[in-house]
């Protein structure tokens, strides 16, 4: 078991997840706006997710994965998380 300190570099994980979302979106030749619409997520919120500026909820990760035709665990694995 590992105690999670407040100083953990947790914020870096948001950026890595966002980069994985962007990479898979670009690989599918989909615009950020189109992905947001497909996933049912606000467009400006999607931009913040891709830039790692928002603590995305699990259900939004699931929505993004469904829209990108992959599993949520695929996105995390691609982010090295």
Identity of the residue, 44 or 73, whose beta carbon is nearer to a second copy in the bound complex: 73
Size of the site for a second copy (CB under 8 A): 36
Residue 59 CA, chain-centre distance (Å), reads 11
Q: What part of residues 19-58 is at the interface with a second copy (CB under 8 A)? A: 28, 30, 34-35, 38-40, 55-58
Consecutive H or E run containing 81: none
Burial of 37 (0-12, 13-18, 19+ CB in 10 A): middle
Residues in the chain: 81
Which residues in the 62-81 window bind a second copy by CB under 8 A? 62-63, 66-69, 71-73, 76-77, 81
Q: What is d(CA 38, CA 3) in angstroms, rounded to the nearest whole number?
A: 38
Query: Which chain residues interact with a second copy by CB under 8 A?
Result: 1-6, 8, 10, 13-14, 17, 28, 30, 34-35, 38-40, 55-59, 61-63, 66-69, 71-73, 76-77, 81
């Amino acid at each position: 078991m590992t105690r999670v300190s407040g100083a953990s570099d947790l914020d870096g994980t948001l950026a890595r997840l966002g980069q994985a979302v962007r990479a898979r979106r670009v690989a599918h030749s989909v615009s950020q706006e189109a992905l947001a619409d497909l996933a049912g997520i606000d467009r400006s919120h999607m931009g913040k997710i891709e830039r790692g500026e928002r603590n995305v909820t699990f259900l939004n990760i699931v929505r993004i994965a469904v829209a990108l035709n992959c599993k949520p665990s695929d996105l995390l694995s691609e982010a090295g998380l």
